Structure 1
Amino acid sequence: MANFYMKFCPNDHVVYAEGGMPTQKYCTTCGEELISKCPSCNSDIPNYFESRKYFTNNTPVNFPRKNDFCIQCGQPYPWAKQFISGLDHSGIWELMHPTITEICKSRFESGHYADSVEAAFKEINAIVKSAHYKKTGKEEDGKSLMFKAFSSENPSILLSKLDMVTGRNIQEGYMYLFAGSIQAIRNPNAHNNLKISKELSIHYLFIASLLFKMLDKGIIQEKNITT
């Protein structure tokens, strides 16, 4: 195994060297000045990796995936900012589920990023809550609601056929995704009045958009089902 170190180009290029930091200052692809520290907080960007080398040219066999966000301050690195900015200009709302656009767009565009995210996940919770009550007559909420509504044993909302292992895995996997999203994203925003960045809110809204698409696909169960 060989040791490699990287410097990073704001335009998403990487320069690497074996055994120590690259000495060059500018990107050989686009000419931009290379960076090795976060522009927001000046902490080091993770830049070390180990890899076997090809015998023919001594280049690394495997490259690690670059971080898009600083692990110290949470701000996006320049290449991630460019990607997110591109999404803004190309119309992220065209990629979102229509319900996200309807209830979140005005909040988001007025700068209320946390509020837009909270609204999305509150709506998801409300839809699942209604479906679960329709089947069971019981009031549930939050994470426990998601575990019961999407259970692979007797779900209130069926996302996949349960007569095969693959179908049960899909049902259970989305159960954890719904429950985890409510616990990790909705609850902290709803209870602690947190402020989140524009970039992070976009990621959260795409998660919510996926969950809405799965709810569109789901079949609400009106009585117990057998597998």
Structure 2
Amino acid sequence: MTPLPDLIRRAGMTPVVIVKNHSTDDEERVRTEAQLMNSSEAYFAIEDRLYEGDHVEMRDPRGGLILKVAAEVEQHPMPASMASAFGGSNGYTKVKWGKDQPVRQAPVRRLDLQHLHAEVVSSASALFADSQYDSAVTEAMKSVEVRVRRLTGLEVSGAALMQEAFKPKNFMLDVGVEEGRSGSDEREGFFYLFRGAIVGIRNPKAHELARGDDPNEALELLALASLLHRRLDIAEARLT
């Protein structure tokens, strides 16, 4: 973190994150401190290199995060001979936030492999790290199929396996958590999710040459496999 002039620092500092190229593949995040004067402006050390269009992420007192956009940036450099008098900084930057309503972000973790189900991490993480995205998704979905077969003892595979394991009226594995009609609807919905994941994702990728090159889409599909495994955790606990 870089220091601000003492005059501004005495007003109190707040930890923030400067986000450059927000929501792009080139996004960069830099932790620093700022003096948040009010809802419309703030001060940063000039060394923080904050420019118009950059985003700044800060904690929301109500919970979660607030994301603001730097609309106007004024840099106030100081001579090197005066740096010590201003807390070691070479100057400060005054920022005015954009007029648009700042975006509140929920206090949740960003999705990444480490937070997915252990079965998905075990079967797909190495392939994902090697940019073999189609193969990573195939292996994750295969791990779901193998686990369903193990829990049911059935010797069929694919759609037939999911049909027997999760058919709403006579299921072998209970993945529902709700009661009554809501529970029935939930089990029916997950029947289609399990069947759809195998028929629509696992089977086509297993039968075609790997060509997926989008890590974000692959991560979303791995998250689906993770969700299915977490429901299998529920079903497996009920079998014991």
TM-score of the superposition, structure 2-length normalised?
0.51
| Aligned position for 1:112 | 132
Judge which range, 154-163 or 101-110, deviates more.
154-163
Sort the Cα spacing of 1:11 and 1:143 in 2 relative to 1 into closer, same or farther, 3 A: same
- Cα deviation 1:182-205 (Å, max 9, x = unaligned): 111111110012311212111110
The letter of the residue matching 1:147 is Q
Matches within 5 A, 1:1-227: 11=22, 29-30=69-70, 87=110, 92-133=112-153, 138-160=154-176, 164-196=180-212, 197-219=214-236
The alpha carbon displacement at 1:117 in A equals 0.7
For 1:108, give the aligned amino acid: F
Deviation readout 1:139-180 (Å, 9 max, x if unpaired): 221122112201121111111379721111111110100111
TM-score by length of 1: 0.54
Shift of 1:132: 2.4
Gaps of 5+ in 1: 1-9, 13-25, 32-85, 223-227
Q: Distance in 2 between matches of 1:151 and 1:112?
A: 33
Gaps of 5+ in 2: 1-20, 24-51, 55-68, 72-108
Amino acid at match of 2:219: I
Distance 1:145 1:96 in 2: 24
Deviations 1:14-68 (A, max 9, x none): xxxxxxxxxxxx979446xxxxxxxxxxxxxxxxxxxxxxxxxxxxxxxxxxxxx
Q: CA 1:150 to 1:162, structure 2 compared with 1: closer, same or farther past 3 Å?
A: farther
Q: CA deviation at 1:95?
A: 1.6
> By percentage of residues, which structure has more strand?
2
Query: Quick one: structure 1 residues 161 and 116, their matched pair in 2 at CA, closer, same or farther if it must change by over 3 Å?
Result: closer
Q: Aligned partners of 1:113 and 1:162: how far apart in 2?
A: 34
Residues matched between the structures, number: 141
In the aligned structure 1, how far is the partner of 2:132 from the partner of 2:163?
30
Distance in 2 between residues matched to 1:110 and 1:166, nearest whole Å: 42
Larger radius of gyration: 2
C-alpha distance after superposition, 1:124-147 (max 9, x if no partner): 0111122222xxxx4221122112
Distance in 2 (CA, whole Å) between partners of 1:162 and 1:199 is 31
Give the distance between the partners of 1:221 and 1:139, measured in 2 at CA: 21
Within 2, Cα distance between the matches of 1:151 and 1:219? 17
Per-residue CA distance 1:66-99 (angstroms, 9 max, x = gap) = xxxxxxxxxxxxxxxxxxxx95xxx712321111
Cα contact 1:131–1:156 (8 A) shared by 2? no
**Inter-CA distance 106–219: structure 2 relative to 1 (3 Å threshold):** closer
